[in-house]
Structure 1
Amino acid sequence: MLDLLDRHGAMTTAELAVSRGVRHQTMAATVKELTEAGFLAARAHPSDARKKVLTLTPDGKNAIDQDRRYRDGVLAHAVADALDDGEQLLLARALLLINRITGTIADSGLSPSPDRGPVTGAW
């Protein structure tokens, strides 16, 4: 959820719930925990005073950045341990192609089937 707010900016609890494919009450509990932990801040919605807009606090941004660095490190070590130099080069080339493919999908406006259930990533 922190990643979602970091990538897409401020959102309401309802928007977060829809984006993650969970019930509003479930997301509200998560929002409450993250707010109490100091990772989220809530402010009044500009056009609907009944709603709150959620944003990352500096601590929330730091937490997601630390998690990303950790995951990057784990992946880098696994690639170095599992693949020889030629395989690493092949993987790097494949990632460039995958980025082109996902860019095409993002640019096309295509999205997964609405009855598919929750997904990760931007689409």
Structure 2
Amino acid sequence: MLTKNQSQINLRSDAGLATALRVSLARLTRRLRRQAAAHSLTPTQFATLAAVERHSAITPGELAEHEKVQPPSMTRVIAALEERGLVTRTPHPTDRRQVTVSVTEAAQKLLKEERRLKEAWLSQRLKELTAEERSILRQAAPILEKLSRI
């Protein structure tokens, strides 16, 4: 169901669709962030932690490139996560000038709980939709994933 503002947007044009998606996805992201587990990580720290988990034993430079931030900024984020016991740095296996970053068991638990809370909240919201709306979302999910990777 479209909100009043969305119904005024011309969804037939690519520009209108882009506007509607931007607004809706930003709102959904904010609502999901409020479902966070009891931690005080910034969105950047949390995204970095999740990226380290996905790409275990990644270098800080690779991580900065992946997260689209400058290397000095990533160094600060990694230091904050390491100070909290969520990541560890180990010598790079082939390049003594570098280190790799990996998540700790505490980070794995935090990420698991965070995902559980967000998925529970989203599952409840999905139950409030009609079967047809859920079917449309099932079809849209791979397309949204594709957009997120372009």
TM norm. shorter chain > 0.5: yes
Matched, 1:42 2:85: no
Task: Specify the code of the residue in structure 1 equivalent to 2:105.
Answer: P
Please report how far the alpha carbon of residue 48 of structure 1 lies from its aligned counterpart in structure 2 after TM superposition. 1.5
Matched, 1:21 2:71: no
Change (3 A) 1:122 1:63: farther
Quote the RMSD (CA, aligned, Å).
2.3
Describe the SS at the equivalent of 1:53. Answer: strand
Please report how far the alpha carbon of residue 13 of structure 1 lies from its aligned counterpart in structure 2 after TM superposition. 0.8
Distance 2:120 2:108 in 1: 18
Percent identity, aligned pairs only, is: 24
Structure 1, unmatched stretches of 5+, are 106-111, 113-120
Which residue is 2:102 aligned to?
55
Distance 2:110 2:89 in 1: 18
Distance 1:40 1:5 in 2: 8
* 51, 56, 69: which one aligns with 1:4: 51
Change (3 A) 1:21 1:91: closer
Please report how far the alpha carbon of residue 41 of structure 1 lies from its aligned counterpart in structure 2 after TM superposition. 0.8
Task: Specify the code of the residue in structure 1 equivalent to 2:134.
Answer: Q
Greater Cα offset, 28-37 or 66-75: 66-75
Higher RCO (CA-CA < 8 Å; seq separation 6+): 1
Structure 2, unmatched stretches of 5+, are 1-47
Describe the SS at the equivalent of 1:11. Answer: coil
Matched, 1:88 2:134: yes
Distance 1:50 1:122 in 2: 31
